[in-house]
Amino acid sequence: MPKRRDILAIVLIVLPWTLLITVWHQGAINPLLAARKDDRHESRRDSRNTFTLKKPCSAENNKDIVEVVHTEYVYSRPPPWAAVLPTLHVVTPTYSRPVQKAELTRLANTFLHVPNLHWILVEDSPRRTPLVIRLLRETSLNYTHLNVETPRNYKLRGDTRDPRIPRGTMQRNLALRWLRETFSSNNRHSQPGIVYFADDDNTYSLELFEEMRSTRKVSVWPVAFVGGLRYESPKVNTLGMVYGWKTVFDPHRPFAIDMAGFAVNLRLILFKPQAYFKLRGVKGGYQESSLLRELVTLNDLEPKAANCTKVRNLIVVLCGSVDRAWCLQCYGCGFDSTHKKIYALTTVSFSG
Task: Check 42, 288, 294, 302 and give the catalytic one.
Answer: 288
Query: Domain map of the chain by residue range?
Result: 1-48, 72-305
pLDDT in tens, 24-35: 666 554 444 444
Of 4-13, 148-157, 276-285, 305-314, the range with the highest mean pLDDT is: 276-285
DSSP states of 142-183 as a string? EEEEEE-PPPGGGS--TTS--TTS-SSHHHHHHHHHHHHHHS
pLDDT for the residue numbered 120: 98
CATH number of 72-305: 3.90.550.10
Query: Is residue 201 part of an annotated ligand binding site?
Result: yes
Q: What is the CA radius of gyration of the chain?
A: 28
67 in active site: no
pLDDT for the residue numbered 40: 44
Residue 169 burial (CB count, 10 A): 23
pLDDT-based confidence at 113, cuts 50/70/90?
Answer: very high
pLDDT for the residue numbered 6: 74
